[in-house]
Amino acid sequence: MEFQKHDILIIGGGGAGLRAAIAIGEENPNLSVGVISKVYPMRSHTVSAEGGVAAVIKANDSLDDHAYDTISGADWLADQDAVEALVNEAPGELIQLEHWGCPWSREPDGSVAVRPFGGMKIERTWYAADKTGFHMLHTLFQTALKYNNVTRYDEWFATRLLVHDGCCQGVAALELRSGQIRAIAGKGTVLCTGGAGRIFPFTTNAAIKTGDGMALAYRAGVPLKDMEFVQYHPTGLPGTGILITEASRSEGGILINKQGDRYLQDYDLGQPLDIQDPRHPQKRTMELGPRDRLSQAFVKEGQEARTIEGPYGDYVHLDIRHLGEKKINKKLPFVRELCRNYVGIDPVHELIPVRPVIHYCMGGVHTNIEGETPLPGLFAAGECACVSINGANRLGSNSLTELLVFGARAARAAVRFGAQAGDVAVEEIIALADQEQRRIRERFFQPKGGTETIAGLRGELTHTMESGAGIYRSEESLRASCDKIRELKQRFNQIELADHSLTFNTELTTALELEYMLDISEALAHSALARTESRGSHQRTDYPDRDDQRFLKHSLAYRSDDDPCIEYLDVVITRWPPGERVYGSK
């Protein structure tokens, strides 16, 4: 078996992975870094982030305000030491990105411009028009090209962590072009594989968002933390799930129901100001409330028959017409392009149909504030990780901040670990990868006469996740999902591939992704079933209240041969005692 060796491995070439690679490129040019990504790095889903990235930069803002907005937005489930690290290091990270060339939108004096986002007391979202993630990713990718100590494994699909002697010592990866499984060894491995939105049928997430790194860690015995918390973004295009950025509301867009009413005022989010009022939009109020509350308001509105029926489900309207063509072209050009292409409407003159759409996993691989997982040698950062700064509901524009701050942190922790770790056990690592090669060949390339299809099982999985673990959940709905997932895991063994080619076999990778999705879904549904309270994005109709006595805790889902075991870990509280989430006043 061919064998590659680096000091540090990074799995995933999106924002977090590239930031991690550059941290090592800059600070430890003598260390070799391998970046293993199932797509070319600039295809990673960071590219789709639109509205912006939060960091305190203006004189009217403060780190404490950023921390408070994040913690209250998280419904007090975020670890406050981690949030403090985030807000402290965010400005430096964004300035650093500016120095690497990121084309941030600017004020007339040449300083970076900021806009407000949902749940924010003060505007602190840096942006590059409405393609912030695209510009950040390409800036990071192009900057990463500079470093000779960074080797890229583009279109290599990680299938298993190679754990020997209680340490993660590398990864088995499928080289898509050759169809060969290779062993790639590293003293430290950083997971940066992003989220898992594709376990739901209606999502903003790209096709590649199948939770690979979460599943790899879970299978290696690392717990997944707070998986029950999944964010619905309030404004997705019906049918495709394409995201219409929150920036459309921070620039002044409003949400209206079937009757044309600004219905958010009925859901404890404050009173609307006239759209021509210079104080509109008000921060932490109405359309600039947090995403969980806006998505929940949509469901309630539907129950009152005040949403509009459509072929792809009910929707409401996002109205940005009053911003005018000039402002829309300058601040929201991508929104206009997406609406024209995918809905056939022009938001300069027409209303945009929107409905809540799965957007982000607050949960992920359990790490501490340094990005270390409980498995020595394994680290994680970005959406695949749960540090946690997002708690029960992530604030818009904190995810891009998180991937920079914790991408760099996890890389540094991996470097520190590697410096004191012994040599990689090469023979054992190769033997494990050989075993993995055999597993995949036997499982997927030897005809067994099975009758299940990938698309069939995936459809059933995503359906049960939406019906059982959507915006509102109950014991009954979650039990049904848990049962269904158990059944689907059995039936997965009956999948038969038509494609036995070694060259760029995307049927094989799709099957491997589905296997990951089943693991993630299991952890999610069981964690949601066990949390008998409502907090942030996790709303139980049978337990409608937050219960700090029992659940001011992170859930940890451990894989077992049977259902996962769910354990709990106290939330870190430093300076902000749990309080009520208040929006629309103050």
Partner 1 sequence: MAASETDQPEATIPLEVFRYRPEQGDEPTFEHYDVPYREDWVVLDALNHVKDQIDGTLSYRWSCRMGVCGSCGMMVNGEPKLTCAAFLRDYYPEVIRVEPLNYFPVIRDLVINMDDFLHKLTEVKAWLVPKEEKPVSQGEYLQTPAELAHYKQFSMCINCMLCYSACPVYGQHPEFLGPAAIALAQRYNLDSRDGAADARADVIFSDEGIWDCTFVGDCTRVCPKNVDPAGAIQQAKVAATKDWYRSVLVPWGNK
* Catalytic annotation, residues: 233, 249
Q: Which residue, 146 or 575, has its beta carbon nearer to partner 1?
A: 146
Q: Of these, 342, 487, 565, 585, which contacts partner 1 (CB under 8 A)?
A: 342
457 binds partner 1 (CB under 8 A): no
Tell me how far apart the alpha carbons of residues 554 and 223 are, in angstroms, rounded to a whole number: 11
Tell me how far apart the alpha carbons of residues 191 and 10 are, in angstroms, rounded to a whole number: 6
Tell me how far apart the alpha carbons of residues 147 and 145 are, in angstroms, rounded to a whole number: 6
Tell me how far apart the alpha carbons of residues 195 and 235 are, in angstroms, rounded to a whole number: 19
504 binds partner 1 (CB under 8 A): yes
Q: What would the x/- binding string for partner 1 be over residues 298 to 327, using CB under 8 A?
A: -------------xx---------------
Total interface residues for partner 1 by CB under 8 A: 64
Tell me how far apart the alpha carbons of residues 80 and 117 are, in angstroms, rounded to a whole number: 21
Cβ(290)–Cβ(395) below 8 Å: yes
Q: Which residue, 338 or 424, has its beta carbon nearer to partner 1?
A: 338
Stretch that binds partner 1, among 35-43, 281-289, 364-372, 518-526 (CB under 8 A): 35-43
* Residues 428, 434, 435, 436, CA torsion sign: positive
- Residues in Cβ contact with 37 at an 8 Å cutoff, skipping those fewer than 6 apart: 11, 12, 13, 14, 17, 44, 152, 153, 154, 155, 156
**DSSP β-bridge partners for residue 160:** 172
Cβ(364)–Cβ(214) below 8 Å: yes
- Give, as one character, the DSSP assignment of residue 487: H
Q: What are phi and psi of 366, to 5 degrees?
A: -65, 120
582 binds partner 1 (CB under 8 A): no
Stretch that binds partner 1, among 5-13, 199-207, 296-304, 354-362 (CB under 8 A): 199-207
177 binds partner 1 (CB under 8 A): yes
Following DSSP, what letter does each residue of 283-303 receive, concatenated? TTSGGGS-HHHHHHHHHHHHH
Stretch that binds partner 1, among 108-116, 224-232, 515-523, 544-552 (CB under 8 A): 108-116
Q: Of these, 4, 28, 105, 189, which contacts partner 1 (CB under 8 A)?
A: 105
Q: What would the x/- binding string for partner 1 be over residues 222 to 251, using CB under 8 A?
A: -----------------xx-xx--------
475 binds partner 1 (CB under 8 A): no
Q: Of these, 27, 64, 106, 565, which contacts partner 1 (CB under 8 A)?
A: 106
Tell me how far apart the alpha carbons of residues 239 and 260 are, in angstroms, rounded to a whole number: 22
Q: Of these, 98, 261, 268, 475, which contacts partner 1 (CB under 8 A)?
A: 98
570 binds partner 1 (CB under 8 A): no
Q: Of these, 27, 29, 64, 101, which contacts partner 1 (CB under 8 A)?
A: 101
Indicate the angle between helix axes 398-420 and 15-27, nearest 10 degrees: 50
Helical segments of 495-547, H only: 506-530
Cβ(325)–Cβ(245) below 8 Å: no
Q: Of these, 180, 329, 341, 541, which contacts partner 1 (CB under 8 A)?
A: 341
Tell me how far apart the alpha carbons of residues 169 and 7 are, in angstroms, rounded to a whole number: 10
43 binds partner 1 (CB under 8 A): yes
Q: Which residue, 346 or 428, has its beta carbon nearer to partner 1?
A: 346
Task: Supply the minimum distance, in Å, between the C-beta of residue 146 and partner 1.
Answer: 6
Tokens of 448: 């067994």
Beta strand pairing call for 378-380 and 180-191:
parallel
Beta strand pairing call for 472-473 and 316-319:
unpaired
455 binds partner 1 (CB under 8 A): yes
Task: Supply the minimum distance, in Å, between the C-beta of residue 57 and partner 1.
Answer: 8
Task: Write out 31-82 in H/E/C secondary structure.
Answer: CCEEEEECCCHHHCHHHHCCCCEECCCCCCCCHHHHHHHHHHHCCCCCCHHH
Cβ(381)–Cβ(192) below 8 Å: yes
Q: Of these, 2, 64, 145, 541, which contacts partner 1 (CB under 8 A)?
A: 145
Q: Of these, 66, 115, 131, 317, which contacts partner 1 (CB under 8 A)?
A: 131
Q: Of these, 30, 59, 99, 326, which contacts partner 1 (CB under 8 A)?
A: 99
422 binds partner 1 (CB under 8 A): no
Q: Which residue, 106 or 479, has its beta carbon nearer to partner 1?
A: 106
180 binds partner 1 (CB under 8 A): no
329 binds partner 1 (CB under 8 A): no
Cβ(13)–Cβ(41) below 8 Å: yes
Stretch that binds partner 1, among 28-36, 93-101, 296-304, 561-569 (CB under 8 A): 93-101
Q: Of these, 2, 29, 64, 146, which contacts partner 1 (CB under 8 A)?
A: 146
Indicate the angle between helix axes 132-144 and 398-420, nearest 10 degrees: 30
Task: Supply the minimum distance, in Å, between the C-beta of residue 245 and partner 1.
Answer: 12
Task: Supply the minimum distance, in Å, between the C-beta of residue 442 and partner 1.
Answer: 19
111 binds partner 1 (CB under 8 A): yes
Q: Which residue, 347 or 391, has its beta carbon nearer to partner 1?
A: 347
48 binds partner 1 (CB under 8 A): yes
Cβ(43)–Cβ(154) below 8 Å: no
> Residue numbers of the site for partner 1 (CB under 8 A)?
39-40, 42-45, 47-48, 92, 95-96, 98-101, 103-112, 131, 134-135, 138, 142-143, 145-146, 154, 177, 201, 206-208, 239-240, 242-243, 311-312, 334, 337-338, 341-342, 453-455, 497-499, 501-507, 510
